[in-house]
Amino acid sequence: MRKADIQYKKIVLVCVNERQIGSTSCANKLSLDLYNKLKIKIAESDPEIRVSKTGCLGNCLSGATIAIMPDNVYLGEVKEEDIPEIISIINK
């Protein structure tokens, strides 16, 4: 093992975890659509920020959940209309 070179200024992780119907998960709250739209908008604003899908971030009841690293910012109940504010938070 070795430390890897970091190729991005920040990484935005979007939980797209799926569970069976009837169980709460970010996928049930349309997080995959959020991921796709956020990826496009962030690429337009700053290509040095990576947006990646991830599994459960432990905030299932308040999803959709995203994490902004290395800022250690977690956001819950995220919706598509929050994308401009997310970009603003990333650029702080």
- Positions touching ligand FES (CB under 6 A) are 15, 17, 25-26, 56-60, 63, 65
- What dihedral angle (degrees, nearest 10) is formed by the CA atoms of 69, 44, 85, 72? 0
Q: Which residue's CB is nearer to ligand FES, number 15 or number 68? A: 15
Least separation in angstroms between CB 47 and ligand FES: 26
Pick the closer one to ligand FES by CB: 26 or 49: 26
For residue 61, the minimal CB distance to ligand FES (Å) is 8
State the sign of the Cα–Cα–Cα–Cα dihedral 1, 67, 29, 34: negative
β-pairing, 66-69 vs 73-75, is antiparallel
